[in-house]
Amino acid sequence: MLFPETISKKLNIPYPVIQAPMFGVSTPEMVAASADAGCLGSLALGDLPAEKCIPLIRKTRSLTEKPFAVNIFVHDIPEITAGLREKYTEAKAFVETFAAENGLNVNLPALEDLTVNTYHEQLEAIIDEGCGILSFTFAIPDEESIGRLKEKNMLLIGTSTSVEEALLLEKAGIDLIVVQGIEAGGHRGTFNTENIPQIGGMSLLSQIADHIDVPLMYSGGIYNAKTMQAARALGAEGFQVGSMLLAAQESALLPFERERLKTVQENDIVLTKSFSGRYARGISNRYIRKLEGSDYILPYPYQNKLTGALRNAARLQQDADFVSIWLGQSIHDYSTQSAKNILENLIEEYKQLP
């Protein structure tokens, strides 16, 4: 089966396949390996401060001369009110106590010790570094920012989880749209943090394809050529691959986290706000079961900052019950080969389809 060419030409890559950003999992080495496979690597910058974005961009550029995207979280920062302060103090105490009861002693940061930054600071660094492709999730950059990025001839890739979001991205002049099905691992790209669309990816892709003219890439449940073929039949001209690269040679997952992938079952995979304050799909554990639906979940990014130290401590102790292992719903054998080999095999498998 032939690959569609629209997105390949726009991105200047041989194949319309994108390595999903996967903040905390993907690395500059994974980006370079994906580029070597003829795909678009994605450097996940999440909500890192600008001074941490720059060395990652430069390291990636030192590893590959091929195109790659940088990916950021476009998010609002809720105002710190008296109510938020009180809730943060309560959540901090609750999580510390629960962790200690389970053998994990950790001092979580106080609210005044947190450093939060807007995506605008990242954009300045991205522009200064001369990046050519920017992808983003959670919302759309403001009109002024889009104007500046367009002036720099930067190609923009947005994420939609509903027809409404896709229409907003098209209206904003975004060049390519990733349609993220609810099956996808990691954070939902939903603009509204409370009421996430519950529509399945294939139904969503078909509906968005009927409503907009912007080229679409599909993300959610892709793990072999047949799932790519299904997405292609419903209007996708490109494919974003994430979970199948989790155990790749270049992944940042630690050995104990990779081991957890080997035993995951269908009912282990859940949507949760407990780690970051935004819905994300991953493997259920003791922490998620205790926190989800409780009164101890703060809005993003405060919950994410609060639990950062918890996750770091759990990784040092190799405790899978207190880390976030994001994973999509399509369970399969998670290859430990290089991302280059994994993607090359996927591409060859797709080519062999009738």
pLDDT digits (tens, 9 = 90+) for 222-249: 999 999 999 999 999 999 999 999 999 9
Is the Cβ–Cβ distance between 189 and 161 less than 8 Å?
A: yes
Model pLDDT, residue 192: 86
Signed CA dihedral, 7, 10, 14, 19: sign only: negative
Model pLDDT, residue 194: 80
Going from N- to C-terminal start, the domains of the chain cover: 1-77+116-245+335-354, 82-115+254-324
The architecture of the domain spanning 1-77+116-245+335-354 is: Alpha-Beta Barrel (3.20)
Model pLDDT, residue 296: 98
| DSSP code at position 237 | S
Query: Which residues are CB-neighbours of 151 under 8 A, at least 6 positions away?
Result: none
Q: Is 202 left (phi over 0), alpha (psi -120 to 50) or beta?
A: alpha
Q: What is the DSSP string of 242-286?
A: -GGGTTSTT----HHHHHHHHT--GGGEEEE-TTTSS-EEEE--H
Model pLDDT, residue 195: 84
Q: Give mean pLDDT in consecutive 10-residue pieces for the chain, a chain of 354 residues.
A: 96 98 97 98 97 98 98 95 98 98 96 93 97 98 97 98 98 98 96 88 97 97 97 98 98 98 97 97 98 96 96 97 98 97 98 96
**3-state secondary structure (DSSP) of residue 60:** helix
Residue 40, beta-bridge partner list: 18
